[in-house]
Amino acid sequence: MATCATRSASPRSSGRLPAHLRNEWDVDNEAEGIAFFHENGIAPPVARAIYSWYVDRALGNGGQFGEADAEAFKAFAKGKLSEAQIEKLIKWHVGDEK
How far is the C-alpha of 55 from the C-alpha of 18, rounded, in Å? Answer: 11
Interval 61-96: pLDDT, tens: 776 788 888 999 999 999 999 999 999 999 887 766
Interval 18-49: pLDDT, tens: 676 666 667 777 788 889 999 999 999 999 99
Residue 58 lies in a domain: yes
Residue 90 lies in a domain: yes
- Mean pLDDT of all residues belonging to the chain: 78
**pLDDT at position 43:** 95
**pLDDT at position 76:** 96
Residue 84 lies in a domain: yes
Tell me the residue range of the domain where 51 lies.
29-98
How far is the C-alpha of 55 from the C-alpha of 76, rounded, in Å? Answer: 14
Residue 18 lies in a domain: no
What average pLDDT does range 55-64 have in this prediction?
76
Cα four-point dihedral sign 26, 31, 32, 36 = positive
